[in-house]
Amino acid sequence: MSDDPTKELFGIRGYRERYGVNDRFPERGRAEDEVLAELREMAVAEDNFWQTGRCSGSLYRGNMEHYGFLNRAAALYSHVNALQRDICPSATRFESEIIAMTLDMMHGSAVDGEPCGAVTTGGTDSIMSAVLAHRERARRRSDSRSHQMILPLTAHPAFEKAAHLFGIDVIAAPVDEHTTLVDVDFVREHITPDTILLVGSAGNYPYGTIDPIEQLSDLAVEHDIGLHVDGCLGGFILPWGEALGYEIPTFDFRLPGVTSISADTHKYGYGLKGTSVVLYRDKELREGQYFVSEMWKGGKYFSPGLAGSRPVGLLAATWASMVSLGREGYLELARAIFETSFAMQAEVAKHDALRMMGDPTFCFSFTSDEFDIYHVNDAMRPKGWRFNGQQYPNAIHMCVTGPQTQPGVVDDFGRDLAEAVAYAHSKAGEPAKSSAIYGGMPDESAEAQEFLRQTLVRLIDRMHDL
């Protein structure tokens, strides 16, 4: 191991030896066949990793025929820009229908006015757009420039990023240690005249659990403030779970306080990476994410969201995913995912030393009160399992997707988990290997925090360096 522990993680590893390095602009072009062969080699090797079904989240449909179909749809439009809408009315068709289908799934019909939405470049974009829209609404309503929002500690960092960019103060609301759900009393007590937005997740990324959205909705109505429901992860699977009869609390526009919802088409919408939907209860709110400039020499400029140019290819692929599967297709895929997740959760429940975080469905996280759960991670990793890590307390999660529903994966999980738990018992009291990267820092001194920040900055550097 070198003295820089981040070196191994995102380096281009074997590729340097295998293919050489483009450390400057190549003088001469290469044959297209050769370029494609090289791309294929890397892609196939990397796909082999998750196709085992041992990788949490990330590859939601996980089926190469489906991806092939989406790629054919995208290829027809991937050179076209959705910002130049006059030459591609198809983009208007794709975008408006994606929004309409997503609104239908989220019970937009329960809204009196004109519920609406936008297609964005991903979950972070959807969340930032919604936060901006709520800030703009607050600015229209009052001259105050002091704004605050209340975030559960399980809410995605995209909210913090939006607050950072748009000048909004964040109040972090604690979550219950056992249920993992936001402390609604805390939220109630921290609403001030500056509060513009409450946030709840359905479900949250760490534990997959669903915040008490109904109670948050009551608070939002009572104080006439916004409530964003982050369905980036769960938005395209929980509604099908409800239809299948699983116990899913209501979290969508049926609740009168819900003013916006994000749902990622590039997760359980089974689209290609790079799209998400943000929905609004009314058009006045959506207008806050629009941008208009009149002074530019380049002409009157407007963009519907944070991005400028957007690829029509991704809109086409997202639309193709939704209409090719239909309600029936999504229900069938959801059924397999819910069944697989509950079967995997049953394997976790076989071990007294393991404790499930809250009451999850398709995505579950577990910890241990007897040993550092990262010992389990340490033992599972060499067997090809890739979980996602949580901190405060240390826990690991499996977000169940298409690849886990293949025959044999649940059995392998049960067998490997039993071995990993035995290993963890044998290491109890010792520090785990993976905790430094995934877990919390043992000591929260200013120096430790600074060291952590520097380590993370170096990690990000690694993603850009040769």
Q: Report the interface residues with ligand PLP, using CB under 6 A.
A: 122-124, 156, 158, 201, 204-205, 230, 232-233, 264, 276
First to last CA, the chain: 19
Helices (H), 111-229: 123-141, 157-166, 184-189, 213-223
Closest CA to 211 of 174, 171, 168: 174
Closer to ligand PLP at the Cβ: 363 or 424? Answer: 363
Closer to ligand PLP at the Cβ: 266 or 355? Answer: 266
Question: Which residues does 408 contact at the CB level (< 8 Å), separation at least 6?
Answer: none
Tally the C-alpha atoms within 13 A of residue 299's C-alpha that lie toward its C-beta: 3
Nearest approach, Cβ of residue 336 and ligand PLP (Å): 20
Closest CA to 88 of 73, 97, 74, 77: 77
Nearest approach, Cβ of residue 39 and ligand PLP (Å): 24
Nearest residue (beta carbon) to ligand PLP: 123
Nearest approach, Cβ of residue 122 and ligand PLP (Å): 4
Nearest approach, Cβ of residue 118 and ligand PLP (Å): 15
DSSP 167-193: T-EEEEEPB-TTT--B-HHHHHHT--T
Asked if 282 and 248 count as a contact pair (C-beta separation under 8 A), the reply is: no
Closer to ligand PLP at the Cβ: 259 or 265? Answer: 265
Nearest approach, Cβ of residue 385 and ligand PLP (Å): 20
Closer to ligand PLP at the Cβ: 259 or 276? Answer: 276
Closer to ligand PLP at the Cβ: 399 or 420? Answer: 399
Nearest approach, Cβ of residue 450 and ligand PLP (Å): 27
Please give the angle made by the CA atoms of 23, 50 and 243, to the nearest 5 degrees: 130
Closest CA to 66 of 398, 409, 401: 401
Closer to ligand PLP at the Cβ: 99 or 417? Answer: 99
